[in-house]
Chains A and B, each alone.
Chain A
Amino acid sequence: MLAVQECRVECRFDGLTLAAQGKGVEVIAIRHAAVTPIRAAGCVTYSAPRVRLVRLGIVTRLWPLVLASCVIFQRPVEAPQGDETIVALLTGGLAHPMNDIARHPWFAIRKKGEQQWMVYEVGGGIAREADPFRSHNIYVGPMLHKVWRGEEAERAAACIERVGTEVKRDIDENYRLFPGPNSNTFGDVVLRRCKLSAALPATSIGKDWRGLIGVGISSERTGIQIETPLLGFKIGLKEGVELHVLGLSLGIDLWPPAIIVPLGPGRLGFDDR
């Protein structure tokens, strides 16, 4: 019986593990590892009939990877190293089955000389965590969107400490799951008020909540947006054009280039930076 050598490589989409044959040209197997994604590559030997069976199975499992693999140069989700002050913006998917359509943001701050991260978010407390990059509460598939370091991070940390607490209190008092204000509104408001030039992904529904009507600078700070709960749009130099319908985002991101979709990582194209 013909034996085929097969090597596994890690896939960064919700714990799916992708296995590739030989030099990685032919993909022949995907295995689900939702709890602990396999990080180390390894090799196993499958018989030819099993390879054919797995090859058939892959057809039914490829769809999530179509979206996942369409985020190019995705930033690795690991805690930034260094003793300086670091601020990071992350999001995680909601629990199943909402994981592909709704994400939740949190700011992680580690000040110079500290070991633990202080996490700011709506939906949880303001609390210290050892590694909010690997796992955070009930959220699945964390994504790292932006990292600030040094003096920039010092200013960001001070602002998030001051503004974040206030915004969190306001949103907690007026919280509405849909269309907002919710935890994603918190992320966007803090980004704008602290002038942090970053954006939440399209699947962070509620990020564009501005009340009944709102006009202002976008969180990336190179564009403007006009929003109502029903319809809205954003246009800018980096932002490109984004249409918002009932909180769902569709559009074209100019830099980094991508198509904005309200699914999965929220974009088909280069990772947002």
Chain B
Amino acid sequence: MKAFVVLLVLIAHAHADPAAGAQLHYELQSFHDVHDDAMQPPEGRHLVLAGVRLHAFIGTRTIAYHIGIDLAAGSTIDGGGFAYDVALFPVGGALRFAQTSFVTLGVGIGASGALHTVDDAVTFPIEARFEMGRGIRLLGRVRATWVGAAKERHGGSPSVSFIDELEAMIGLRLGRAYWDFDFPTGNGYFVGAVYREWMGAQFVGGIIGYSLDMGTPRKPR
């Protein structure tokens, strides 16, 4: 909480130099259960999700307030049930560096579940994201989630005992960078790996997608 107040004060003092940026991802990810000794194996052992992530920040050239929304839907392969994973991040901070690179930390609320296989639950995620580079860009995120309701999903992360679910992604965008209308931007397709722990099982998989980023410049061209 103290860090959040410090962030707000810093942003409030930066009124003379406003800066902003946004990122959009289209993603298709596939998870497969690779290790589930810890608990009863989940029925949905293979999961495919397609979705959109839209994040933005506004503040100074270095520190900014961050918000975001993640929407994904798909299906478990075995159970054949509709699956979803959505989250809103209304509170967060961003640390910008280089020309368009950044690290963000967001706190939010969401919901996830899968018909017949994974109980629906309200979720409370904390997510760290980073993007580094221009056209060729390293993308990543780590999310720790606490689950409300759905008791069978509590304590479902085998590697971190005090959280319920864990998710991580790392990817490489093979795209292009632009400098149009005095704004540094970039876009392109990316490929990467995903990792998820929930319901006592560990899932790994792949991700392909499209990412774009835009923002006010941090330094002269």
A residues apposed to B, CB below 8 Å: 32, 59-64, 66, 95-101, 245-246, 248, 250, 262-263
Contacts and interface: CB of A to CB of B under 8 A. Distances in A.
A246 B180 CA distance: 28
A66 B185 CA distance: 22
Contact of B210 (A32, A60, A61, A263): A263
Contact of A97 (B71, B136, B185): B185
Interface stretch (B104-112, B140-148, B155-163, B186-194): B186-194
Contacts of B214: 97
A246 B52 contact: yes
Nearest to B73: A245
Contacts of B189: 63-64, 66
B187 A60 contact: no
Interface in B155-197: 174-176, 178, 180-181, 185-189
Interface string B200-221: 0000000000101110000000
Contacts of A262: 26
A96 B180 CA distance: 7
22 contacts: A60-B136, A60-B174, A63-B174, A63-B175, A63-B189, A66-B189, A96-B178, A96-B180, A96-B187, A97-B178, A97-B185, A97-B187, A97-B212, A97-B214, A98-B187, A99-B187, A100-B187, A100-B210, A100-B212, A101-B212, A245-B71, A245-B73
Nearest to B28: A261
A95 B178 CA distance: 10
B146 to A, nearest CB: 27
Contacts of A64: 188-189
B70 to A, nearest CB: 13
Contacts of A246: 52, 71
Contacts of B121: none
Given A97-B185, A246-B71, A248-B52, A32 B212 contact: no
B103 interface: no
Contacts, number: 45
A97 B213 contact: yes
Contacts of B14: none
Contacts of B188: 63-64
B4 to A, nearest CB: 29
B24 interface: yes
A101 B26 CA distance: 10
A95 B180 contact: yes
Contacts of B50: 250
Contacts of B180: 95-96
A231 to B, nearest CB: 11
Given A95-B181, A101-B26, A32 B176 contact: yes
Interface string B31-73: 0000000000000000000101000000000000000000101
A54 B125 CA distance: 43
Nearest to A61: B174
Q: Which of A62, A100, A248, A250 has the most CB of B within 10 A?
A: A100
B52 A101 contact: no
B86 to A, nearest CB: 12
Contacts of A245: 71, 73
A102 to B, nearest CB: 10
B131 to A, nearest CB: 13
B29 to A, nearest CB: 15
Contacts of A32: 176
Nearest to A95: B180
Contacts of B136: 60
